[in-house]
Chains A and B, each alone.
Chain A
Amino acid sequence: MINFNKTSRYYGDYCALKDISFRVKPKEFVSIVGRSGAGKTTLLKLLLKEEKASSGEILVDGKNIDEIKEKDVPNYRRKIGSIFQDFKLLPNKTAYENIAFAMEAGGRTDEEIAEDVPQILNLVELADKADNFPYQMSGGEKQRVAIGRALVHKPDILMADEPTGNLDPLHTWDIIRLLCRINELGTTVLLATHDREIVNALGRRVISLDRGQLIRDEEKGRYIV
């Protein structure tokens, strides 16, 4: 499903990622671990086509994402749901509107939106916060809105960049459980984190990065630095 092939990314002379190669199968749950600056975020940015690889290629569903035309990038991004450490919610829109906006952007009809958004809010257990603005919600709630938004296009891949970085332990596990459930429903999950406890408790595949290089790739791995 996802295939990184000798992918590198340089910022000037600084090497953020060097010759990274790995494959992710459909419905897999993969944790990408490493210290800050190891290259996790860069790797996800390349996958989302926020940045371009300096060399090597990235294939998604067998297609080189470098060949996606600029005008087709929005469509491509809708196939990948993404969540971030800082939630990236639209500050001037309520929980409901944040999710509805993503659906509108995807060209869905008003009827579909009226039907799907409440369902998604139920799934992330936020039905009662539909009309709250981001500043009226806790970190955990914001992240759940973000997950809800990431799911509206029924993406094949869900990409989470340190989704629990700003959360307390209780909310952290809420989010991780939600990600596991989404994975069980058939979505491939890529989770970038440096939280040792989470990675070890999950007991799933772990890809370890260190200073831009892939140093370990294990099924049922653990966080070892």
Chain B
Amino acid sequence: MFEGFKRIFKWGLKNFWRNGWLSTATVSIMSLTLLVITVLLMLNVVANVILEELENKIDISVYFKLDTSETDILKVKDQLEKLEEVNSITYVSQEDALVKFKERHKDNPILLQSLDELDVNPLEASLNIKAKETSQYASINQFLESVYYQEIIDKVNYMQNKDVIEKLNKIVTDVKAGGLILTLLLALIVFLVTFNAIRLAIYSSREEINIMRLVGAKNWFIRGPFLVEGVLYGVIGTVVSLLVLYPVFYFLSPKLSGFLPIEDIFGYFQDNLLAFFFLLLAVGIILGGFSSWFAVRKYLRR
């Protein structure tokens, strides 16, 4: 048995080497496939970060009437925190609001002066609410509109921002769904290209397979070397694609960091290099092995 494995391995390596051009072509296609997959994965990571940033920018604010006591507001806060949809709530007291207002308008002395002339703080205390999902703001708003709070709440800015939130919500869902479909579609295309490239490579060996059968070789002994070749395509393809991507990310990363929310794409790639390696290796080996196995099967059945 061990001798059999040794021989299969030997012929697989020899065939790979002797079919030089064919092997090079197939490895190139395999490398391209794995390259596309890596880039797709990276794009998904970047897209997710962008979406997350966008989602983080959305919140709704509840403004309380000037005579509302802090205890009442905190009670509302407690109630809100019990809601499943709520991710976090920040309380901005009247004083905080004033500090923020002054900070924001520090270049406008007239405005600040007129504010100083007032006896009371005209700014309302508020609660900033962030939902877990963009789609949940509607139901949080509904909760706030219930009669119980009508007396103390001045306004909820959801109605003003409703259109923006809904639009953004749609964009987020669309981009997520579209990204997934596009990723799957592209992955499928590159899979099929590699699968067929390997089938073509083995098609050129169909006569050889037939000869092996005629000299009395068992099916596993015929198939084995082709499987070894298929797996080799995957292994070498993985190494080649990572060797290509490493310098590409290295040089591209500083140029991209300006307009992408990820500071350091190369750093991310480097941190996850081992994970990428094993993932691509698994994809390459399974794709190469399966394609070979499948392609040879056709000629063994005749």
Cβ–Cβ contact B217 & A105, under 8 A: yes
Cβ–Cβ contact B7 & A149, under 8 A: no
Taking a contact as CB atoms closer than 8 A, the residue among B208, B210, B217, B218 that contacts A92 in the complex is B208
Q: Mark A23-55, 1 if CB is under 8 A from B, else 0.
A: 000000000000000000000000010100000
Give B residues with C-beta under 8 Å from A.
Answer: 3-4, 7, 11, 14-15, 18-19, 207-208, 210-218, 221
Cβ–Cβ contact B214 & A82, under 8 A: yes
Sample (8) of A-B pairs whose CB atoms are under 8 Å apart: A88-B211, A88-B214, A92-B15, A92-B208, A102-B217, A105-B212, A105-B217, A149-B215
Taking a contact as CB atoms closer than 8 A, the residue among A88, A109, A153 that contacts B216 in the complex is A153
Cβ–Cβ contact A104 & B7, under 8 A: yes
The interface residues of chain A lying within 8 Å CB-to-CB of B212 are 90, 101, 105
Taking a contact as CB atoms closer than 8 A, the residue among B11, B211, B216 that contacts A106 in the complex is B216
Q: Which one of A70-78, A191-199, A203-211, A212-220 contacts B?
A: A70-78
The interface residues of chain B lying within 8 Å CB-to-CB of A78 are 215-216
* A125 on interface, CB distance cutoff 8 Å: no
* A91 on interface, CB distance cutoff 8 Å: yes
* A184 on interface, CB distance cutoff 8 Å: no
On chain A, the number of residues with a Cβ less than 8 Å from chain B's Cβ atoms is 23
- Closest Cβ of chain A to B211, distance in Å, is 5
Cβ–Cβ contact A105 & B218, under 8 A: yes
* A89 on interface, CB distance cutoff 8 Å: yes
Give A residues with C-beta under 8 Å from B.
Answer: 48, 50, 74-78, 82, 88-92, 101-102, 104-107, 109-110, 149, 153
Taking a contact as CB atoms closer than 8 A, the residue among B19, B213, B214, B221 that contacts A104 in the complex is B221
- Distance A149 CA – B212 CA, assembled complex (angstroms): 11
Cβ–Cβ contact B214 & A50, under 8 A: yes
- Closest Cβ of chain A to B180, distance in Å, is 44
- Distance A92 CA – B11 CA, assembled complex (angstroms): 10
Closest to B6 in A: A110
Q: A77-B215, A90-B211, A101-B11 are in contact. List 16 more A-B contacts (CB 8 A).
A: A48-B214, A74-B216, A74-B218, A77-B216, A78-B216, A82-B214, A88-B211, A89-B211, A92-B14, A92-B15, A92-B19, A101-B215, A102-B215, A104-B221, A105-B217, A106-B216
The interface residues of chain B lying within 8 Å CB-to-CB of A109 are 3
The interface residues of chain A lying within 8 Å CB-to-CB of B221 are 104-105
- Distance A105 CA – B221 CA, assembled complex (angstroms): 7
- Distance A88 CA – B210 CA, assembled complex (angstroms): 9
- Closest Cβ of chain A to B212, distance in Å, is 7
- Closest Cβ of chain A to B215, distance in Å, is 4
- Distance A218 CA – B15 CA, assembled complex (angstroms): 48
- Closest Cβ of chain A to B11, distance in Å, is 8
Closest to B11 in A: A101
- Closest Cβ of chain A to B293, distance in Å, is 18
The interface residues of chain A lying within 8 Å CB-to-CB of B3 are 109-110
The interface residues of chain B lying within 8 Å CB-to-CB of A50 are 214
Closest to B218 in A: A74
Cβ–Cβ contact B217 & A74, under 8 A: yes
Cβ–Cβ contact B18 & A92, under 8 A: yes
- Distance A50 CA – B211 CA, assembled complex (angstroms): 11
Cβ–Cβ contact B215 & A105, under 8 A: yes
The interface residues of chain B lying within 8 Å CB-to-CB of A75 are 216
Closest to B19 in A: A92
Closest to A48 in B: B214
The interface residues of chain A lying within 8 Å CB-to-CB of B211 are 88-90
- Closest Cβ of chain B to A93, distance in Å, is 8
- Distance A214 CA – B15 CA, assembled complex (angstroms): 44
Given contacts A104-B7, A110-B3, contact A90 B216 (CB under 8 A): no
Cβ–Cβ contact A102 & B216, under 8 A: yes
The interface residues of chain A lying within 8 Å CB-to-CB of B4 are 107
Closest to A76 in B: B216
